[in-house]
Structure 1
């Protein structure tokens, strides 16, 4: 599949890296373009041995991976690469398939996906929605693309804002927790290097238990929370500081922002 990435940021890099490693994409058939950062474009082309966009070509697949706010401006430059058989895959938060179709004046196959940057390690959690124009082979190829970089689930499009808040932004929440744990350990007397290695391995081990033990998170937590013990004391402090509510507000706020972003971008495009 002759594939063009529009955008060369972290998500494009992660998806490219994972899919090329898995052999779903062939670097001889992958092209990339970037709106402004020529240095970044050169870096990614060199790293993956891929080609700069050929402006006279049409592509089987176009992956929209620019910043959502740049979609409106980029749309005019995307149209020349489209044919009636092109599959558009968007990884843009908040922008609906209907809006993409309208802005590109394209009545064809569109998939909207929300992976995360763990795709670079083959560990993404991706949700993907499809419009009615995909052929069975296009739908299968799209699923294979995202399965090559982790797990992928088909969902209704209206769930994608919430999934963006949960798993799209989710790695940043985990990194934030790791940052806080390390900071607390250092403040209480551990060497920075030791604190970092312990936190990293603790999170990796807990992740493996979640994915491989067959037990739910609640049961795993209870299994290590002895009455009157250290874990119980730590969790009680988290409950006292309403960490559960804070995470609910975290997901809710990100979900609302994804919805608002889509509305704002659509309104702005109608004004121009």
Structure 2
């Protein structure tokens, strides 16, 4: 799977670690406002680090949005023109239910709400 994780704070980083540990990716794109904090992922094959959300979306099939709630609407507006019918959008952002996300990106997207926690890094999250 080609996966982008937009927002690699504690939760996004934990999800990335879980995906890598379980060999669940063919490509993983990690975006952050501060990509220099993601040095721990530098040595992994097929893991790409950037601050460019649009590029990550264009190269991925599954987009995990793990931003802070205050940033989420801005991120959705940024990536909206680049979403296609092939994309699956997964949100871990609190306070944004699916209908609210649909008002921003439209109703033609596959949207999933998920509430994992940082235990996902070791495969122990629900």
TM-score, normalised via structure 1 length: 0.41
Spell out the pairing of 1:47-86 with structure 2 (5 A cutoff).
48-49=44-45, 50-51=47-48, 52=50, 55=55, 57-86=58-87
Stretches of structure 1 that go unaligned for 5 or more consecutive residues are 126-272
Tell me, yes or no, if structure 1 residue 17 matches structure 2 residue 17: yes
Q: Describe the shift of the 1:47–1:116 C-alpha distance in structure 2 as closer, same or farther (beyond 3 A).
A: farther
Highest relative contact order (Cα 8 Å, sep 6+), 1 or 2? 2
C-alpha contact 1:61 1:87 (8 A) present in aligned 2: yes
For residues 65 and 22 of structure 1, what CA distance do their matches in structure 2 show?
Answer: 20
How big is the shift at 1:47? Answer: 5.5
Q: Describe the shift of the 1:67–1:47 C-alpha distance in structure 2 as closer, same or farther (beyond 3 A).
A: farther
Stretches of structure 2 that go unaligned for 5 or more consecutive residues are none
Q: For 1:43, which of 39, 43, 50 is the aligned residue?
A: 39
Q: Relative to total residues, which structure has the larger helix share, 1 or 2?
A: 1
Match of 1:33 in 2: 31
How big is the shift at 1:45? Answer: 4.0
SS in 2 for 1:3: strand
For residues 65 and 86 of structure 1, what CA distance do their matches in structure 2 show?
Answer: 16
Deviating 4+ runs (over 3 angstroms):
none
Answer with 1 or 2: which has the greater Rg. 1
TM-score, normalised via structure 2 length: 0.83
How big is the shift at 1:76? Answer: 2.0
C-alpha contact 1:13 1:44 (8 A) present in aligned 2: no
